[in-house]
Structure 1
């Protein structure tokens, strides 16, 4: 990771409120190395407020436009000193470093605001909070609600949040602890579910590339509806989980939902109980909030995807026999190598680790 990437990540963590003592020391070291002062960055939030007119990731041109807005703003104030100690005053190095930060913010940012518009006179502001693989974030919303984002996840909400609505969109996995507000129900939209609450705690898992989605209620009540079946709605009770499996086989059970399964055109919906006799922080569905990866009878095909997100690593399984092998365990402070070696204790397999591309290849031990 370059100094630019490290600096950006630390600033982002500070904005998200999960800044540790170790992070403070690292940021102080970078500031000392480059001769920076905290007051130099009073306008640095501009880097996270990237404004542009088209949807999607901004191109280089829109980033350059953002740079011009940023540089114009700071010209009217004091020039932030972003160059190393030996290079002061206005310089190409200053612009280069800030531009690099701005580019990284636009493309890899943990928090940034997106402005979309059909014309120059009417814009709608969206706030996007996201995490990369291998990282997690805790976000306090404007109404005081708390959201924990698991790795590779994104939430989006508009500037009316907390005023006219409390609507968010989720891709990935998040744990919600929602502040009670009878006048503004909290609504979450995922690719296959719409969830509505007033005040409660629950977990939602809805990764874009996954063939399944689920919502797990911890306390309170949760109303769940489905875009593909708008006339149907389910009320979850505490410690209940609803799961949706997409791309169902041709033959399906037509049992009532409360019995476990029901059929629809493109998915199977099932309802189950979770962790009735289990301590809260040992419930598999929400253990990640306590920085634990708990898995019970999970096949290696699914577990490898969780491990990729958890450790920010690529797993290539060449031994197809391993795909359906099931594992049970808990990881918390283990490194990836420690974790993969622990898995080998259940089923014997070999692996090769390529540090150059951060890939682990699972091979047969025969």
Structure 2
């Protein structure tokens, strides 16, 4: 097992690591102490994971199972949970995680029956719509608070409903966007446009819904989506992978297969998303410039040393988060998002 790829939540959910934190087994204690000696760059991550384990165990070793139920949602949400909150003060991504984990862990302890913590309820201020626009960028990549990835096309915009990822996952699209949606059965992902509403039953799809166009197109690549047209709430149109729904103001809707390029065999519906990025033993500083152009997100460095790390790879339809995660596998670095920028550090 490659523990170097572990993040905070991975360590905290590892049974051997839990026994190490609780000093429950000499073999685990010896193993992790040796591993940390060999990998000092992971000490901060390990320390945060230790704090989570100790909070959940309440130093008794009897609350760790609660963490497993949180793993998937936390891991996705923590990619860049504040990516859209541009007014938030700069905070290092890793360090903010521990406080959110601690808050969630405290909630788990309370639900499990602990009675030694009490909180005074303070009414939260009314939430507002969050509006994000691509502007002049050819593409703008977003990571929504629920961990879903969205690529917005030039001059397109998304408006998130109040309570997004808390009470609902509703948003309104103007223009065109490519979605890779995380699953959450409790809060279905809903995309609203002027011409139709989309309930996401799967994951990956593209929607073209420009206000100055009489035609709206929804193309599905993976999973399943349910489309409802205005004035026809009882009619649910289910799309399967490799199908698209086209609506026109003057004609009924039509379902057709995706339009594949005869040479590349790639769907033309998302040609605007695809822009094959090939990297061959290039420094991260050069790669950052390519990522800026490809994804429409500014990339800056907080550390001069990391600029000279060299990487090779090929990316086509990945989100910027997945691209950076892939680069990290061969030569680790850290990154965070602040006010629409990605900041890379050692």
TM-score higher than 0.5: no
Question: What's the TM-score bracket when you normalise by the shorter of the two chains?
Answer: 0.3 to 0.5
Q: TM-score, normalised by structure 1?
A: 0.40
Question: Which structure is richer in relative contact order (CA contacts within 8 A, separation 6 or more)?
Answer: 2
